[in-house]
Structures are given as C-alpha cells and as structure tokens.
Amino acid sequence: MLIDFVNYVINGALIGLLYALIAMGFAVIYRASKVFNFAQGELVVFGGFVVWWLVVNLGLPLYVGLPLAFVIAAAFGLLIERMFFSRLVGESVFAMVMVTIGLLILIRGVVLLLFGPQVRPFPIVFDLAPIIFGEIFIPRSLLYGGIITVAAGLGLSWFFDRTRLGLKMTAVAEDHQVALSLGISVRASIAFAWILGSVLSTLGAVIYLSGKSLNFLASDIGLTALPVALLAGLESVSGLLIAGIIVGIVQGLAVAYLDPWVGGAVGSILPFVIMLGILFVRPTGMFGWKTIERV
C-alpha cells in the first residue's frame, strides 16, 4: 500500500538523521585532527550511562540531569584528549588512529567496570506516544531528534566554514607542523573537537535510547553510522544530513520489502554496499574535499 511506503520513507529518513547526528562526532574529530575515531559508538554508550546514572540512579529531574550529563561528557572528552592525544601532536595519523582503537576497548571496559553488563532502563526524555497524521505514524523521539540534527548540522557547518576557530581547526587537520608555525594551538583545537564530539555523542544517546533499554551493546550504532560518515565525506558536516537521509530510507525500504524475501539481513548490509559503491567512484565521499598535490 502507498501509505505503508510513505511511513517507511518518513521513518527511514528520520532514523537516517539520527545516524547523521552520530556521524557528526566522526566528522568533528576528523575535521580537527584528521583522525577517524573508531571509539565513537563507545562515546555514545558512555553518554547514555551518564544520563541513566544522573536521572534514574540519582533521581535528578531531566532539566537538571541532562545539562549535567553534557557537562560530564565534555569533561570526559577533554580528559581523553589530555591523556592520549595531546602527547601525539605532530605524530603520524596512523599512530593516532591506533590510539582510538585502544580507546574503544578501554571505554568499553570502563563502562562494564562502572555499570556492569546489566540492561538498564533509559529515562523517557520524549513522549512515547507517536505523532499521527491520518495513517502516518511518527515517533516523537525521531521527529524531535531529526529537527535537532538538522539544526546541529547547519550550525556546525557554519562554525567550520565561517568562524575563526572553525577555520583554525581545519588548518590543524591539514598539517600539525604547519599549523604550529602559523601560531595555531594544535592541542586546543583537538581538545575542543573531542569535547564537541563527546557532547554530540551524548545528545545522540538521548535521542536514540529515550524510553528504551541501555547496555554496552548500544555502541553498535556507531558502526551503523559509519556508512553515513563515509558516504558524505568526513569533511562535510552538512553533507551528513543528506547522506543520513539516503542511508535511512534505503535501509527502511530494504527491511520492509527485501528482508521478508531473503530471511533478513539485507537492511543492515545494503547501506554498506551503497557506501562502497560511492567510494569506488569518489573515494572522498559525495561531499568530501578532493586533495590536489603539485609536484
């Protein structure tokens, strides 16, 4: 039926925007350090457990617990940068990427140590009742999350392209030594990127987990957001919005129409197939920058 198709498209697009929000964490850190953060999903889980601890375990109201969770997430991002990445300024990109892989394992271990493997009830941030337009059903968390994602994407795009700090962060990503020679603080730029990436991850956790269950396996959304990040190109924050909508709709339609025919799994695989197809044609992604080197 046509109405079912419309529901799949709308909800797929909104889920795709959630992926785009998670992918913004990849892009922000990459724009400042040229490092792909493999621990992005673990930052989402850490932010989710912080919200749970403050709101459910300590009983703080949402209007107190959520802002405090963002502050803790920002402090955690700064701690990561000071402990690991401030010592790697000027080192190879490969070394910094390997640190993010170690960070993935470390954060997962810390979460399991502090909170255990038990499933926790995440607080209801958005009303669970869907918004209904005729026969179209839209979850409130996805709708509000989509609006927040679009605002965040446009705001970050403006920040990186129009502000002095954003341009400095882009210069740092190009070459640490050149940025230092220009008087740009590489450590400060990378620290701000990790703070911003951690806050975005916590915001993604709030939208993704509102009214659901929470455990360390929620980090899988970081892997799900990977096709969005690579499809758009890690330099383009606003491009993530378009890539997220594409991936979300493709995944939603595949789950609805292809999975029943083959017994499942097509919906989870197809976004990666599309990503690989685009990268074969344009390795920098749809909106990524092409690098031109003169010899």
What is the tens place of the pLDDT at every residue in 104-121? 889 988 888 888 888 899
Would residue 293 count as lying in a domain?
no
Q: For residue 39, what are the domain limits? A: 2-281
DSSP helix/strand/coil, 137: strand
Give the best-scoring range by mean pLDDT among 22-36, 245-259, 275-289.
Answer: 245-259
Query: Tens digits of per-residue pLDDT, 10-56?
Result: 999 999 999 999 999 888 888 777 778 888 999 999 999 999 999 99
> How many distinct structural domains can be found in the chain?
1
Residue 86 φ then ψ, to 5°? -65, -25
Residues with Cβ < 8 Å from 161, sequence gap 6 or more? 167
Strand partners of residue 214: 120
Mean pLDDT computed over 229-255: 88
Burial bucket for residue 170 (CB in 10 Å: 0-12, 13-18, 19+): middle
Rounded Cα distance, 228 and 247, in Å = 7
Report pLDDT for 294.
44
Pick the closest to residue 107 from 175, 198, 20 (CA basis). 198
Report pLDDT for 181.
76
Pick the closest to residue 51 from 222, 200, 203, 193 (CA basis). 203
The CATH number for 257's domain is 1.10.3470
141 sits in the region (left: phi over 0; alpha: psi -120 to 50; else beta) called alpha
Would residue 180 count as lying in a domain?
yes
Would residue 295 count as lying in a domain?
no
CA dihedral 122, 126, 127, 132 (to 10 degrees): -130
Q: Any idea what DSSP says for residue 210?
A: T
Question: Is the sign of the CA dihedral 164, 167, 169, 174 positive or negative?
Answer: negative
Residue 220 φ then ψ, to 5°? -60, -20
Query: Tens digits of per-residue pLDDT, 154-195?
Result: 999 899 888 888 888 777 777 667 777 777 777 788 888 899
Residue 139 φ then ψ, to 5°? -60, 135
Write out the two tokens for 20.
């785009």
122-149 burial code (b ≥16 CB/10 A, e <16): bbebbeeeeeeeeeeebbbbbbbbbebb
Give the best-scoring range by mean pLDDT among 11-20, 208-217, 231-240.
Answer: 11-20
Rounded Cα distance, 181 and 12, in Å = 46
Report pLDDT for 70.
96
Rounded Cα distance, 260 and 257, in Å = 6
Would residue 294 count as lying in a domain?
no
Would residue 94 count as lying in a domain?
yes
Would residue 288 count as lying in a domain?
no
190-222 burial code (b ≥16 CB/10 A, e <16): bbbbbbbbbbbbbbbbbbbbbeeebbbebbebb
pLDDT for 198 beyond 70: yes
Report pLDDT for 90.
62
Would residue 248 count as lying in a domain?
yes
Report pLDDT for 134.
82
Would residue 291 count as lying in a domain?
no
Strands (E), 67-109: none
